[in-house]
Amino acid sequence: MTFTPTHMLISRTKETPVQLVAAPQGYWLYTEAEAQKGTTPAFELRPKLGFYCRGHQVVGFSLQPLTIQAAAHAEATQLAK
């Protein structure tokens, strides 16, 4: 899977670029490491229910779409690697 970040997963202390992928119960949130390894993502977003991490509901997270400038920066960083 090619990692193309679409959103930022925001917690109180950290912002992580993620890619949303449709899942049976909502959306999976792939980080770059998970996408490269091909593993099942830790985070899932379920409509009306919120965020889940490995099957357990978690609070304190929000999801923001990437702006064009942030997306260009993430792509440039990925190309540099």
Q: Tell me if 2 is assigned to some domain.
A: no
The three-point CA angle 81-22-31 to 5° equals 30
pLDDT for residue 67: 78
Q: Tell me if 1 is assigned to some domain.
A: no
Token code pair at residue 46: 């379920």
Considering the entire predicted model, what is its pTM?
Answer: 0.77
Q: Tell me if 27 is assigned to some domain.
A: yes
Q: Tell me if 76 is assigned to some domain.
A: no
Q: Name which of 2, 1, 4 is nearest 75 in CA terms.
A: 4
| Structural domains in the chain (count) | 1
Q: Tell me if 28 is assigned to some domain.
A: yes
Residue 70: pLDDT over 60: no
pLDDT for residue 66: 87
Q: Domain range holding 24?
A: 7-68
Average pLDDT over residues 45-71: 87
